A and B are shown apart, each in its own frame.
Chain A
Amino acid sequence: MADVAGSIKNDTVGPAQWSRGRVALALVAVAVFLTLLHYAGLLPDWLFRIPESMIPPFAGWLDAIFNFVKDDLGLLKLTRTLTEGLEWLLDVTANLMFGKRRWPHIGPIPWTAVAGVAAVIGYYLGGWRMAALGAGTFIWTALIGQWKIAMETMSVLMVAAPLAFFIGLTLGILAWKYTWVNRTIKPVLSVLQTLPFFTYLLPAVIFFKVGPTAGAVATTIYAIPPMILMTTLGLQKVSPEVVEAGNMSGCTKWQLLRHVYLPSARTEILVGVNQVIMLCLAMVVLTAFIGMPGLGAKLLAMMGSFKLGRSFEIGVTIVLLAVMLDRMSKAWVVKQPEHFERGTPWWRRHAILLTGVAVFVFFCILAQFVDLAAEIGRKQNFSQGKEIDTLIKGFLALEPVQATTGAIRYVLNVWILNPFRDFLLSIPTPAFIMLIVAFALSLGGKKPAIYGAIFFSLVALSGWWDRSVITLYSVISAVSLALLIGVPLGIVAARSEKWSQRVLLACDTAQTFPSFIYLIPAIMLFGITATSVVMSILIFAMVPLIRYTIEGLRTVPPEMTEAADMSGATRMQKLWNVQLPLALPTMAVGFNQAIMFAFFMVIIAAFIGTQDLGQELQRTLAGTDLGKNFVLGICVSLMALTFDLTIMQWASDQKKALGLPD
């Protein structure tokens, strides 16, 4: 990619670019020289790695700051007070959904009633198919014997999602109304969005009690940023004439917001709702790491003890929930109000609502008399965990399968991954930073290069250099493999309209799955090994790559491909000379997302057992090492930000140079 960038740049910009290439080249040369010196044993140790004695105790400082805020400023008192309100809410939903013994002592709501209501809502939003999806999801969950854990997850989701919605909406309105709020919020948001989720978890545990409360807090915070962004965007897009009509109707400021702005921004706000729900689901599953019970915790336990059958079943439940929530909230986005003919009777206007209430009441009463309608007992469910487990393990034990996975594992580990890792580790720190800076400079220019230098120097100073390099190694190797598979797949799919649509739909669906899910197939095939880590990242990172490759290729303006056709280009020539160069900026966005996803996944995958930052991060969760937790989290964030800045800068430069819309 670098030389394509170079060539296009050279044509358009000229001498300034040339010197940029020169500087990058010089940096690479110095880096190579330093590395060779090290191999020859001539490099002094202090140039290879920063000596321990020079590493400032960031973690200790951060701890001191936290303790100050927590105890001296009394923040802990405040949050513990907030906790009580939140706890009360969580207790209510817990009681309703799975019958926790708390006020209002009504629950649990029978599973049949939940499934029935889901079907009615589904029907309202998207007809019979959505109704089937809604009912089917809950019926599956109940029959497979996961009702209680699924409802534990849902009860937190039901509190966290509305909370994130309201906070996000309020902040979004403020950011739209007052520029200073906007200016304060923007940088915080961009950092929040690259911080690994683990960094959210520990503060939540410390400031709010362990368990559902901390889980709900972490989930809420995690889901707020997109809601803010979508709200602001929606409000900015309201047509000025509609606002003027409101003004001429004599609206006060409040009336204007309530009756004109917010309803007109409905679409964007609902897209925000969709994102809030999906992020909440993704995060609520991950809160298993801080001991929140539910689907995530169960999945973690099952994978940990290598019970593949049960893991698979829980995976299906999570996927079904994700697909259902996503489809329904998206259907809500496009649902437009429709009028009833005049003289439609009252009950017909509210038919859906009435049916919903009727179904709910019916099943609640039914459950009083038929036990099965209320709850499916331990012995009655249809879980095939053991059978599937034997099946998968039997399959894996088959000679040819074992040979294949074994071979892949061997080749990957011995020939590619381990040598690559050892090579990266053998590069002296200063040389490594120079290489990164050279990369950022040649692609993105001066600004990303400067940031890259600062960010990676900070990582070096953090004292976690080796583990950071291993993290980076997992990311780079997984994303490179994903590139090798994903881009050709995308190119092939983009050839026909039909396949593009199908693959895009599959990618869209896959993107709604909580990241945890991607561990399951990797573990199934490769067991709990380092290969699984790379494999799970690979699958996760491939989704955006395929998606953006297709999108990039499909949106090449038809005049251009037609011009190529008329010049007598073959399919290959057209692809290489016209379509790919034009699609590259869009593909770069996919590449960037793949890297971000990989940084995210590498930390989750640490659960399988790696030697990178992720594992250290997970270890901090067990204790109260808030400072260390933050240092580690920020290391990940800084590395991710460097890539993000560089690639996005390159993509937008290219788009401008090619005259494509942003």
Chain B
Amino acid sequence: MSADTVISCKNAWKIFGPDPEGYLKTLPAGHSFDDIRADGYIAGVKDVSIDVSRGEMLVIMGLSGSGKSTLVRCFSRLHDITGGTITVEGQDIMSLSEKELIELRRNKMGMVFQSFGLLPHRSVLDNVAFPLEMRGQDKHARRERALEVIKLVGLEGREDYFPRELSGGQQQRVGIARSLAIEPDIWFLDEPFSALDPLIRREMQDEFLRLQAMLGKTIVFITHDFDEALRLADRIAIMKDGAVEQCDTPDQIVLNPATEYVRKFTEDIDKARVVHAGVLATSSDNGTGDPVDAKASVQDLARLLVQDTRAIIPVASDGKIVGGMDRAAALEILLEAS
């Protein structure tokens, strides 16, 4: 575990059922999800090992019921894991006392819930100020801060509304604002933009990236939307039946799917948009002529790839040549997409 690992999850299990601990102890290796279900248990999280480093944005994807929300709930200890260890900032969260856990949540963690989890009897302002109130901040200060984040999510003028008087998207933004109020270092987002319209969704994503660049938060983000994942993710973890099938950069996931499932899952994605020049700079020969930017996607380079005649094109990152890209391989990806 490097010094900059914020969340480290080792062989974590979360089993639902009558006696999960007892069951896990007697569980033979290699038991599949369906075998476990046949025994009357559900493996919400199945032997997951994953590390999240500081400032990273990890996106979790997977079909409905694959255990995404459950995994994130284990990270924040809303669920007690059945087996394995999860450490956050070097502390084993299962060993935290109630008081320490409350402290951790009050100061370090924020979470946006899939179905919002707003308090129905509190106005927007009071909902957003809720975590601050629990921390015992004085009324004036928390009002100030709440108004600030409400403005950030674009809900100005609706501070006094009650959740039931808001649309789904607006409610979702209240949830986002609430989780932002305490400026968490670690931020869990469970499909935070699912109820937003495309325009606001895009705006929120941009806002997100800005915040991320500025504050360097560690973010675990769940989404069903691949475009969103590509825009935001440093790494993507793909889950199936409680287990992480593959966790890697977007380029690697589409170029080298670890399992058949991942290949199927990413089949319909336009690879040219995902794969970057930097990843393709594998040739030992650096090539000659004008370099292309490592951050440019194959699609961005389409015209150049078709018109250029060089076999190897140099790739530069921050003005330094990092390697050469095989033009034929890049063309292959471009053509496969269309």
Q: CB of A71 within 8 A of chain B?
A: no
Interface 0/1 of B5-49, CB less than 8 Å to A: 000000000000000000000000000000000000000000000
Q: CB of A260 within 8 A of chain B?
A: yes
Query: Cβ of A247 and Cβ of B73 under 8 Å apart?
Result: no
Q: CB of B247 within 8 A of chain A?
A: no
Q: Pick the contact of B162 from A248, A249, A337 — CB < 8 Å?
A: A337
CA distance A266 to B121 in the complex (A): 9
Q: CB of B319 within 8 A of chain A?
A: no
**Could you say which of A238-246, A423-431, A602-610 contacts chain B?**
A238-246
Query: Cβ of B73 and Cβ of A249 under 8 Å apart?
Result: no
A residues less than 8 Å from B179 (CB atoms): 248
Interface 0/1 of A208-250, CB less than 8 Å to B: 0000000000000000000000000000000101101111111
Q: CB of A11 within 8 A of chain B?
A: no
**Could you say which of B54-62, B105-113, B278-286, B298-306 contacts chain A?**
B105-113
Query: Cβ of B121 and Cβ of A248 under 8 Å apart?
Result: no
Query: Cβ of A241 and Cβ of B135 under 8 Å apart?
Result: no
Q: CB of A339 within 8 A of chain B?
A: yes
Q: Pick the contact of A241 from B105, B116, B131 — CB < 8 Å?
A: B116
Q: CB of A346 within 8 A of chain B?
A: no
A residues less than 8 Å from B123 (CB atoms): 337, 339
A residues less than 8 Å from B109 (CB atoms): 248
Query: Cβ of B160 and Cβ of A241 under 8 Å apart?
Result: no
Q: Pick the contact of B121 from A239, A249, A252, A337 — CB < 8 Å?
A: A337
Query: Cβ of A342 and Cβ of B131 under 8 Å apart?
Result: no
B residues less than 8 Å from A369 (CB atoms): none
Query: Cβ of B134 and Cβ of A255 under 8 Å apart?
Result: yes
Once A and B bind, how many residue pairs between them come within 8 Å at the CB atom? 86
Q: CB of A399 within 8 A of chain B?
A: no
- Minimum CB–CB distance from A257 to chain B (whole Å) comes to 13
Interface residues on B, range: 35 or more
Query: Cβ of B119 and Cβ of A264 under 8 Å apart?
Result: yes
A residues less than 8 Å from B118 (CB atoms): 242, 245
- Minimum CB–CB distance from A333 to chain B (whole Å) comes to 14
Q: CB of A338 within 8 A of chain B?
A: yes
Interface residues on A, range: 20 to 34
- Minimum CB–CB distance from A234 to chain B (whole Å) comes to 13
- Minimum CB–CB distance from B33 to chain A (whole Å) comes to 23
Q: Which of A249-278 contact B (CB under 8 A)?
A: 249-253, 255, 259-260, 263-264, 266
A residues less than 8 Å from B198 (CB atoms): none
Query: Cβ of A241 and Cβ of B165 under 8 Å apart?
Result: no
B residues less than 8 Å from A337 (CB atoms): 121, 123, 162
Interface 0/1 of B97-136, CB less than 8 Å to A: 0100011011101110111111111110000001101110
Q: Pick the contact of A336 from B114, B119, B162 — CB < 8 Å?
A: B162
Chain A interface residues toward B at CB < 8 A: 239, 241-242, 244-253, 255, 259-260, 263-264, 266, 336-342
5 residue pairs, one from A and one from B, having the closest CB atoms? A250-B106, A245-B117, A249-B131, A241-B117, A339-B160
**5 intermolecular pairs with C-beta atoms under 8 Å apart:** A239-B115, A244-B73, A249-B131, A252-B102, A263-B121
Given contacts A248-B76, A263-B122, A342-B160, 12 further A-B contacts (CB under 8 A): A239-B115, A241-B113, A242-B117, A242-B118, A245-B117, A246-B130, A255-B134, A264-B119, A266-B120, A337-B123, A339-B160, A342-B157
